[in-house]
Amino acid sequence: MPELKVEVIPEGTVIDHIPAGKWLKVIEILGLTKPNGGTLLIASNVPSKKLGRKDIVKVEGRYLSEEEVNKIALIAPDATVNIVRDYKIVEKFKVSIPDEIVGILTCPNPNCVSNHEYVRPRFKVESREPLKLRCHYCERTIEGEEIIGNL
Amino acid sequence: MDWNGRDVISIRDFSKSDIEFVLKVAERLEEELREKGSLEYARGKILATLFFEPSTRTRLSFESAMHRLGGSVIGFSSASSTSVRKGESLADTIRTVEQYSDVIVIRHPMEGAARLAAEVAEVPVINAGDGSNQHPTQTLLDLYTIKRAFGKIDGLTIGLLGDLKYGRTVHSLAEALAFYDVELYLISPELLRMPKHIVEELRERGVKIHETTDLEGAIPELDVLYVTRIQRERFPDEEEYLKVKGSYQVNCKLLKNAKETLKVMHPLPRVDEIHPEVDKSEHALYFRQVFSGVPVRMALLGLTLGVL
């Protein structure tokens, strides 16, 4: 019962099955690093049957929507999300890759205008399996390691 | 499709019917222009040409097209004479220029610059080349040239020759040709083959593709030979380049084995990939191709301005 290694939260969102070591990136992407963003409980390198080792992030007092959480799908494709109200899980879903990735990933093409002007990088998801993204600006496609390397 | 105010950024934004529509309008304008000498559709309208990179044909043909439509032109042909040198952002330059104009044509060394300009500007933006990414008006004028020469695009066998790896022109053209029932010969040295993902996409879209290094072997099959320049700097050593360069010169001897009706195209500028002796032959279509730039760009300017 790895969840018990950190305190059970009364209200909020539990993000489970994050690949070990990726919790910081996850809270960065979700914008949870601000000082007034509420309490976060982190469990890192927790033994997991599915992943070997995993991270868990508990966000107290905030209910993250499916759309918000889907932003982490690129780095935590197997993550599951539990919405907790009054100590009970009232909703559970798996993250899924959205149709468009905005502002998370920078374009690996050094000559892409998105790396030079004040603009949010945007990628269209061309295929999910294998994951292939196309930059909205320079139209280059990126896959695999190149995606992870530019997160 | 409502053309009034539409941006022309990438051939990927076009459907087959969009392409056909532009070609039809261009043909109509070409005929009207021949009859009347000059047109008045864009009277009182101003085109701004923002060329952050040098160009001969594209800039002049856009300017010519706007004048032929009765409109006028402002702009610059090098970024060094503008506030960009002072560090002004592209977005600010666009917001400024759109106060002075009704349509913007932009060429920029960065990929995606035209897309960004279109997002910032209220007036329509036409991409005249963004780095190594897109040059949609070149593709449209290439299709127009083929259609005018053969009366059709369907059923033709088209050879793309030269630098198929890095050349943006051949990538966009191949993508647009995939809308039609064509057979493609991709002729290039091994090092400069068309990227695999593009070839796969073309095959998925039903195009019959032959990849070869053998120009002589392919030539008798072709209706169109689209030649591009092989850039010396792509080759690891000079000797390799010289070997390839020699084997890919299109000259009268090579064309002896071609169909009588074969047309040779080239986006220009050429260096030595087409011998000047071909210029006078019935095969040469590349200067006619230059001419096509005007009616096609007239069509795009007129449509996006909403004056046609």
Same domain, A145 and A86: no
Which domain-ending residue is among A54, A70, A94? Answer: A94
DSSP string, B234-299: GSSSHHHHHHHHHHT-B-HHHHTTS-TT-EEE--S--SSSB-GGGTTSTTB-HHHHHHHHHHHHHH
B112 pLDDT band, cuts 50/70/90, is: very high
Q: How far apart are CA A106 and CA A108, in angstroms?
A: 6
pLDDT tens digits for B121-157?
Answer: 999 999 999 988 999 999 999 999 999 999 999 999 9
Same domain, A108 and A90: no
Is B11-133+293-305's fold the same as B137-290's?
A: yes
Same domain, A89 and A116: no
Selecting from 3.40.710.10, 3.40.50.1370, 1.10.10.60, 3.40.50.1360, what CATH number does the domain B11-133+293-305 have? 3.40.50.1370
Q: Is B58 annotated as a binding residue?
A: yes
Same domain, A85 and A36: yes
What value does the mean pLDDT take over residues A74-93?
A: 92
pLDDT at A70: 86
pLDDT tens digits for B46-57?
Answer: 999 999 988 888
Residue B200, chain A, CB below 8 Å: the answer is no
Same domain, A90 and A108: no
Q: Do A113 and B130 touch (CB under 8 A)?
A: yes
pLDDT at A5: 56
Residue A21 lies in a domain: yes
Same domain, A65 and A111: no
Residue A26 lies in a domain: yes
Residue A114, chain B, CB below 8 Å: the answer is yes
Q: Is A54 annotated as a binding residue?
A: no
Token pair belonging to B104: 């913007």
pLDDT tens digits for A26-59?
Answer: 998 888 888 776 789 999 999 998 889 999 999 9
Q: Do A113 and B112 touch (CB under 8 A)?
A: yes
Residues of B whose CB is below 8 A from A137 = 111-112, 115-116
List the single residue in B with minimal CA-CA distance to A135: B112
Residue A133, chain B, CB below 8 Å: the answer is no
Residue A123, chain B, CB below 8 Å: the answer is no
Q: Cβ(A95)–Cβ(A31) under 8 Å?
A: no
Residue A139 lies in a domain: yes
Same domain, A78 and A144: no
Interface contacts A/B by beta carbons within 8 Å: 52
Is the pLDDT at B219 greater than 90? The verdict is: yes
Residues of B whose CB is below 8 A from A138 = 110-112, 130-131, 133
pLDDT tens digits for B236-285?
Answer: 778 877 777 766 889 999 999 999 999 999 999 898 899 999 999 999 99
Same domain, A49 and A87: yes
Q: How far apart are CA B296 and CA B137, in angstroms?
A: 8
Same domain, A72 and A90: yes
Q: Do A114 and B134 touch (CB under 8 A)?
A: no
B167 pLDDT band, cuts 50/70/90, is: confident
Residues within 8 A of A (CB atoms), B 261-290 only: none
Residues of B recognised as catalytic: 57-58, 86, 107, 135
pTM beyond cutoff 0.95: no
User: Residue type at A48?
Assistant: S
CATH homologous superfamily for the domain B137-290:
Aspartate/ornithine carbamoyltransferase (3.40.50.1370)
Domain holding A109, by residue range, is 100-149
Residue B74, chain A, CB below 8 Å: the answer is no
Distances in Å between the Cα of A28 and the Cα atoms of A58, A112, A116, B48 are 14, 24, 22, 42
Same domain, A18 and A88: yes
Q: Structurally, how many domains does chain A consist of?
A: 2
Same domain, A75 and A118: no
